Amino acid sequence: MTYESAFFAGGCFWCITPTFKETDGVIDVISGYSGGDEKDPEYLDVKLQKTGHREAVRIDYSPQTVDFSELLDIFLNGVDPFDAGGQFIDRGHSYTLAVFYLNDKQKNIAENKIRELEKSSGKEVFISVEPYKNFYPAEEEHQDYYLKHPEEFEKELIESGRKKPNIV
């Protein structure tokens, strides 16, 4: 099977993984670190802003089933593109938004979607569009965190402000 990859930094990588994993045509989603200069960064160093990397995901997908533009729409619906300082309670460069493009087609799609969003919202969008530089998979404990630790994951979503609690 032929597949392509997309690289998005969307704040907490735990929080953006499930939506992509549940998308038809997505083969795999790997949590990791991208964009910095340090080789083989570790979670705590990235979290503490020591590496220049952002928490990111690599999405391997079948372009016959889902395309880059659709994945970018999913990404935009799961983040706050108007926040320059991070995402929800996660603050600092490592939690800011980015699209790491692999080719001119991905770059043009990302730039056009951002312009459309700025025009329709009347607000500045804070998503960096950068050429792909590197991607280092995160430690195993961070892969599919939502499946390994469903209660902690749900708590993270609510405490971060990404999800409103169910009030009975």
**pLDDT 10s digits, 59-111:** 999 999 999 999 999 999 999 999 999 998 889 999 999 999 999 999 999 99
**Catalytic residues, which ones?**
12
CA 23 to chain centroid, in Å, comes to 15
CA triplet 120, 122, 126: central angle to 5 degrees? 95
Q: Does domain 4-160 have CATH number 3.50.50.60?
A: no
**pLDDT 10s digits, 15-30:** 899 999 999 999 999 9
Q: What is the DSSP letter of 144?
A: T
Q: What is the pTM of this model?
A: 0.92
Q: Which residues are within 8 A (CB) of 7 and not within 5 positions of it... i.e. 6 or more apart?
A: 34, 56, 57, 58, 59, 99, 100, 101, 102, 132, 135
How far is it, in rounded angstroms, from Cα 66 to Cα 45? 34
How far is it, in rounded angstroms, from Cα 35 to Cα 55? 9
Alpha helix segments (H runs only) across the chain: 13-21, 43-47, 68-77, 104-121, 145-148, 150-160
User: Quick one: pLDDT at residue 165?
Assistant: 60
- The domain limits of the chain are 4-160
How many CB atoms are closer than 10 A to CB 132?
A: 18
